[in-house]
Structure 1
Amino acid sequence: MRRKGDLPQKICVVCGRPFAWRKKWEKVWAEVRYCSDRCRRARSSGAGVDW
């Protein structure tokens, strides 16, 4: 079992926040670019996410 701090991370291209690997992304980790569905939807609107 890995600790959460040992998992690979990426930076979301929309909000700029780091996000960690998830089991459901195991086979497509190379293509994952967004931390959430909200950021994925916001990419096309041109506006950044206001957190």
Structure 2
Amino acid sequence: MKILAPSPKLMTDMQQVGGIMLADWQKAAGPEGEPSSKPTTSPVQRSKAC
């Protein structure tokens, strides 16, 4: 089995979907859903470092 890197378009599309999902969740969660601190790297950057 070969695992290939995702295309730039797929990455862009997934980041857009993730942004929409996050905004929807934050709206539904209200003030309790706000993070106590902002991450310094995106989840994509963190996963590449692992």
* TM value normalised by structure 1: 0.22
**Higher relative contact order structure (alpha carbons within 8 Å, sequence separation ≥ 6):** 1
Which structure has greater helix proportion?
2
Structure possessing the higher radius of gyration over alpha carbons:
2
